[in-house]
Structure 1
Amino acid sequence: MSKTAVGEVRPSQLLWTYGPGALIDLPNLSVLTMGVDRWDKERCQPIQEARLLANVRRVLGAQVESLRMPPFGERDVTSPTSAEALMGVPVKAFPRWLRCVKCGLLSPYDAGLFDLKKNPYRPEQTRFVHRACRGSRGDQPARDADAVPARFLLACRAGHLDDFPWHWYVHGGRSSCQGTLRFFESGASLQTENLWVKCDHCKASKNMAQAFGQAGKENLPACRGRNPHLDRFDETCEEDPRAILLGATNGWFPATLSVLAIPQSGSPLAQLVEDGWTFFEDLTSEAEVAIAVKTLKKTAQLPGIEQHTPEDIWAAIEAHRTGGAEVTPGDLKAPEWEVLTAPNPPTDYPHFMSKKVATPAGFEHCITRVLLLERLREVNALLGFTRVEAPDETVSEDPVPRAALTRGAPTWVPATQVHGEGIFIQFDLPSLVSWAGKESVKPLDDRLRAGHRGWRIKRRLNPDDGYPGVRYVMLHTLAHLLIRELALECGYNAASIRERVYADTTEGRDQAGILIYTAAADSDGTLGGLVELGKPENLGRLLRQALERAHVCASDPLCAEHDPSKDQTLHGASCHACSFVSETSCERGNRLLDRALVVPTMEHPGAAYFDPS
């Protein structure tokens, strides 16, 4: 595989948008990110988060040694051919089939008809060209013409991705004809009915509308089990392949785990030693500690450790060896809930600085605590990905098969860490229990549960699993309403505000809270705007504004009358006009929402938790 720089993306995008197996749509060509086993591990800086690593091992196996950031380098380099300029992740051109923009020639790029034009000084201008093209009628002077990726692909729910079977499709199955194919458009619009592929030799032709829906099942071959990011084929695949468009959002969905960095030890130094134990476990003396601290300070891999002396760090290491407990996998949110609701939450840890404030006036009956998180850190790890359909609910359930990141068992996984600030709101348990038991709430709960069952049945999943309960739906909807309101005033991009909903009622747990926080990879995540709005005088006003806006939706009465039990969806009275947020902001992909549980609506005026009457 040649080393040719073809563009650039942000490191965080390699986790959420352009990870292994994902297509990157560049200005002149399309490339696919290769598997993690092709990445240069030495250029991937490790991230220390023991709690997340333990849970990644639970899912992917004990052989996972570390979490590592994607490689990144300086934008300004002295030479486009230097090692710094070629730093990044390996990609390959995909799909293989290209189309000439002048004559419509449709052919794989390795058939010898297309050339790659490299531009080391402007990598984004690297492109394929059709040599000596004479136009669609063959009567123009021979000159190179741009070739662009074919816009159709095949994908399946098992994560496989393949080139569109152009010869099979146009000839109606296996054929000995190997004539040149042409792709052309007819009509004024670019609907699939007006897109055609034609064979120059046998004159067979077919429009692309027959590749989708029920017709697609009859005109497309079985899935070959292709994993182009791993350069291999799976032996069998029972999923039906579907035609998708190049650049479509259903081509790649990340399956991730995320945790908040929370203190679990008795002192800040003990917590730092626990978080960075991989750096300290092999040290044998105080002198080695001093050298390690200098290295950590230069690389910024364990912020805060430089504030302590080597003597104190060595003592903390010895204490951890004799009495430190190994982090065990488990519920990711339970430890966070314990810290957030502790009588005296930590205020001086490097990645967790909190401050208790008063409850907003007028909400004392339903809110018991407001905690301002002046600094927090979120760590995310990529476990795999899906295609066609997003990971349905939680990674532990594995409702949709995840495609692998590597050929074998991974020894490390890509991860990112973001710093930010947040507002934690804890709700009154007795009032929530009383509300959930109201007769007016039960019909809505039944409809949501029925929609959830139908949604899972359609996907051949256990219909009795995964429904989080009406408390979760209410808190989740309120979090969305508050995110939309905060985005108007806090100064952050709406997509950089996220949520964590704590509503677990299983195994004796009784959680009832929401955390709304910023999560940006740079200093934009800690500007202070969100914490300022969490103060009682501001939060009360924002809550009242959010609840008032939610009473009537621009899509009412259709939104208010939506019944999830009839169309097997996962949301009730909820839509883009009232409570949907950015996909990156929601932990459930805009599922399990119903504003009728939060405020009175036209269809259900008596089921709201926040009832003005």
Structure 2
Amino acid sequence: MSDLRNKYQISIKKMKVRASTLVFPFGTGAMIDLPNWVLMTASGEYWDKKKLKTIHDERLENVLRVRGFKSPVIRQDDDIDNVKKDEKLYMPFVQFPTWYFCPNCRSFKTLKEWEKDYKKAKGEDEVMRTPFCCSKEHKYMTKLVPARLIVACENGHIDDFPWIEWTHLKDHKKICDNPQLVIKTSGVSSGLEGITVECKTCNARISLSGTFTNSGKNEFEMLEEKVKNESKGKEKLVQDNFSLQCKGNRPWDGTKDEKCGLYPTTLQRGAINVYFPKIESSIVIPPYSDKYTKMVEESLEFEKLIIKLEDEDRENKKEEFIVKAINAISKEKAIDESVVKNIILRKLEVKEEHEECDIDKIKYKEEEYKALIGELSYDISNQADFKIIPQKVKEYHKSYLSKVVLIHKMREVRVLTGFSRINGPDNNIMDSDNEGESSNKNYKLIKPLSDKDWYPAIEVNGEGIFIELDEILIQKWIDENPEVTERIANINGKYHKILLDKGFSIRKITPKFVLLHTLSHLIIKELSFKCGYSSTSLRERIYCNTKDNGYHMCGIMIYTANGDSEGTLGGLVRQGKSDRLPNIIDSAIEKARFCSSDPVCIESLGQGRDGLNLSACFSCCLVSETSCEEFNTLLDRALIVGTLDNKSIGFFNNFR
């Protein structure tokens, strides 16, 4: 830790936060509002390895080409009383943004300047643990407020808004030698035009209106051109090499990319496009979920082996280390040596089918689907993290159901593989490439740490319900209702335009997918309403593709997203029994027939983000975005219950 601080000259703050949030939504590079500060989560290099638990999922490790994952939770072997799995702990953050404002004296300056004032007032040995203004004009110390504007670029860099340059140059003045900024507000407007930044030294004064990109041209590029043109033949406002281009700052790890070349974009500090995390999710399935694999992964000798194999200087002793580790693990866990050998060799094997950099997410789900419908052969009695019980579908008395599986125990691994800014990443593929080498030209995926041997992750142990619909009935419904295909063609056209504009991989949206996705949302809402689950405690996993696109899938899994008492005591599994699930589905479909926003909602041909929903809004279909795989898009209630003019396009109208 100290070596990294000296190398990058980075200031680390240790703050107490809930551990699981450091993967999502406050992963590396994201800002988090704490009671006294706004901070940015530091790169994984700064995390205390003693407070990290190693997580394994062989399938995901092979795709992402890593040895394992690290979870920022307190280890169970620590000498701490009453340790909870997701207890708050101290984790490293860096200070960002660095500009703060005093609402009392109106002064606006960097934290370094505020700290100098604090030391003058309190003494050189004092540390400013909370941002305060100690001006003699105040009767009491005034708590500072962080700047609401920052700048970022598509290469993932982020920086403070150039307040000094903007204030002076916008007012056609040269930057003075000792700028002292203040912020003033007027009662004219509550927007940015009502906020003015002034320099007390030279009286430069400018409103914050116009700080955002307008007419498609970058605001900093326009200002730079304007200033350089005004400097011709007059006293120069700036030096010849002056530029407002991105400085390439990476506050989360203290480094800087010297050659960025882009002009930054002004953003609100809390805007959604400041940070787009790339989260990969995987269900641990056989043979990776059996108890012997888990025992090997949890052994101390296996962890030592991984550390040794990561050392390039010891690569020539690889076979020797493996043989010794197999013997040591066998003795440590009292497992037959041949069993340990098979597991170790399987875990270290290079999977040739994952040599490509980008893996299709639909393809990745095929193995999970096969495990859920019973097409994978494995020893049921040896499973530690995957326990399912297929149900007799005839007992549900629903002809459109082909399979119902109750998942009594499952483990999900969620991994932060990177993040982007301004433009979101391509969520149709699972990136395993190096930083910045994605095929997408409109965003740069920033890795959460420079060490490529692991990623930050969390694991969730829970339960779920898997439902497979009869694909033959669905295809018959599509063939008999041309309007269904027309409606989805509307969504597909918009979706593909967005993908092409951003350079994303193309994915075909089918009526079957929209039907499954909308049904999943309706069931989640009904489970939350009838059974007491919070809307954020349930998640969906859609299994859907066509026969001409690999293994055909036609199912949905609804499972608990939080591994606590709300999701591991059998409550969700109980709702999947034949005496309850049919009633839940019937009630969900019946409620979908009416929406408080009808007839506007049911007649809509495009609503929600980018118009990617048809008959779907917050009143009828949308759920918490953390529960949805598609961020509340690609939904159409009309495929479930039909429209006012055409009831027949509703799939479930045929089974009333």
TM superposition score category, shorter chain reference = 0.7 to 0.9
* 1:216–1:368 CA distance, 2 compared to 1 (3 A): closer
1:602 aligns with 644
1:411 aligns with 453
Where do 1:159-170 residues align within 5 Å?
159-170=156-167
Aligned residues: 567
Could you say what secondary structure the match of 1:170 adopts? Answer: helix
The equivalent position to 2:629 in structure 1, one of 587, 591, 599, is 587
| Mapped partners of 1:48, 1:186: distance in 2 | 56
2:130 aligns with 127
- Identity rate, percent: 30
Could you say what secondary structure the match of 2:572 adopts? Answer: helix
Task: State whether residues 48 and 276 of structure 1, in contact with CA within 8 Å, keep that contact through their aligned partners in structure 2.
Answer: no
Task: Work out whether 1:469 is the aligned partner of 2:510.
Answer: yes
| Mapped partners of 2:416, 2:251: distance in 1 | 18
Cα deviation for residue 404 of structure 1 reads: 2.2
Structure 1 segments unaligned to the other structure (5+ residues): 58-63, 79-84, 118-124, 136-140, 294-309
1:339 aligns with 371
Could you say what secondary structure the match of 1:88 adopts? Answer: strand
Cα deviation for residue 3 of structure 1 reads: 8.5
The equivalent position to 1:157 in structure 2, one of 154, 175, 193, is 154
1:182-215 CA deviation, whole Å, 9 max, x = no partner? 1122228642232222222232323323222417
Structure 2 segments unaligned to the other structure (5+ residues): 81-86, 121-127, 221-243, 306-320, 432-437
Amino acid at match of 1:241: P
More displaced stretch, 530-539 vs 555-564 = 555-564
Task: Work out whether 1:500 is the aligned partner of 2:541.
Answer: yes
2:329 aligns with 289
Task: State whether residues 429 and 512 of structure 1, in contact with CA within 8 Å, keep that contact through their aligned partners in structure 2.
Answer: yes
Cα deviation for residue 525 of structure 1 reads: 2.3
Task: Work out whether 1:536 is the aligned partner of 2:574.
Answer: no
Cα deviation for residue 166 of structure 1 reads: 0.9
Task: State whether residues 613 and 636 of structure 2, in contact with CA within 8 Å, keep that contact through their aligned partners in structure 1.
Answer: yes
More displaced stretch, 406-415 vs 504-513 = 406-415
* 1:237–1:554 CA distance, 2 compared to 1 (3 A): farther
| Mapped partners of 2:286, 2:350: distance in 1 | 13
Task: Work out whether 1:93 is the aligned partner of 2:120.
Answer: no
* 1:540–1:189 CA distance, 2 compared to 1 (3 A): farther
Could you say what secondary structure the match of 2:618 adopts? Answer: coil
TM superposition score normalised by structure 2: 0.78
| Mapped partners of 1:545, 1:504: distance in 2 | 27
Task: Work out whether 1:195 is the aligned partner of 2:192.
Answer: no
1:421-442 CA deviation, whole Å, 9 max, x = no partner? 0000011121122223331211
Could you say what secondary structure the match of 1:471 adopts? Answer: helix
Cα deviation for residue 445 of structure 1 reads: 1.7
Cα deviation for residue 599 of structure 1 reads: 1.8
Task: Work out whether 1:486 is the aligned partner of 2:485.
Answer: no
Task: State whether residues 273 and 313 of structure 1, in contact with CA within 8 Å, keep that contact through their aligned partners in structure 2.
Answer: no
| Mapped partners of 1:548, 1:192: distance in 2 | 46
| Mapped partners of 2:190, 2:643: distance in 1 | 41
Cα deviation for residue 323 of structure 1 reads: 8.0
Where do 1:134-149 residues align within 5 Å?
134=137, 144-149=141-146
Between Structure 1 and Structure 2, which shows a larger proportion of helix residues?
Answer: 2
Task: State whether residues 16 and 91 of structure 2, in contact with CA within 8 Å, keep that contact through their aligned partners in structure 1.
Answer: no
Could you say what secondary structure the match of 1:375 adopts? Answer: strand
* 1:145–1:566 CA distance, 2 compared to 1 (3 A): closer
* 1:364–1:46 CA distance, 2 compared to 1 (3 A): same
2:498 aligns with 455
Cα deviation for residue 591 of structure 1 reads: 1.7
Task: State whether residues 638 and 650 of structure 2, in contact with CA within 8 Å, keep that contact through their aligned partners in structure 1.
Answer: yes
* 1:508–1:77 CA distance, 2 compared to 1 (3 A): closer
1:442 aligns with 485
Amino acid at match of 2:31: L
The equivalent position to 1:314 in structure 2, one of 334, 337, 352, is 337
The equivalent position to 2:105 in structure 1, one of 90, 103, 106, is 103
Task: Work out whether 1:259 is the aligned partner of 2:299.
Answer: no
TM superposition score normalised by structure 1: 0.83
Could you say what secondary structure the match of 1:383 adopts? Answer: strand
* 1:567–1:86 CA distance, 2 compared to 1 (3 A): closer
Could you say what secondary structure the match of 2:389 adopts? Answer: strand
Could you say what secondary structure the match of 2:525 adopts? Answer: helix
Cα deviation for residue 324 of structure 1 reads: 8.2
1:61 aligns with none
| Mapped partners of 1:447, 1:156: distance in 2 | 32
Amino acid at match of 1:102: N
2:29 aligns with 21
* 1:236–1:555 CA distance, 2 compared to 1 (3 A): farther
* 1:285–1:144 CA distance, 2 compared to 1 (3 A): closer
| Mapped partners of 2:496, 2:582: distance in 1 | 37
Task: State whether residues 484 and 494 of structure 1, in contact with CA within 8 Å, keep that contact through their aligned partners in structure 2.
Answer: yes
2:590 aligns with 548
More displaced stretch, 360-369 vs 532-541 = 360-369
| Mapped partners of 2:119, 2:46: distance in 1 | 22
1:47 aligns with 55
Could you say what secondary structure the match of 2:39 adopts? Answer: strand
1:167-188 CA deviation, whole Å, 9 max, x = no partner? 1222235842242111122228
Could you say what secondary structure the match of 2:23 adopts? Answer: helix
Where do 1:554-573 residues align within 5 Å?
554-564=596-606, 568-573=610-615
Task: Work out whether 1:250 is the aligned partner of 2:273.
Answer: yes
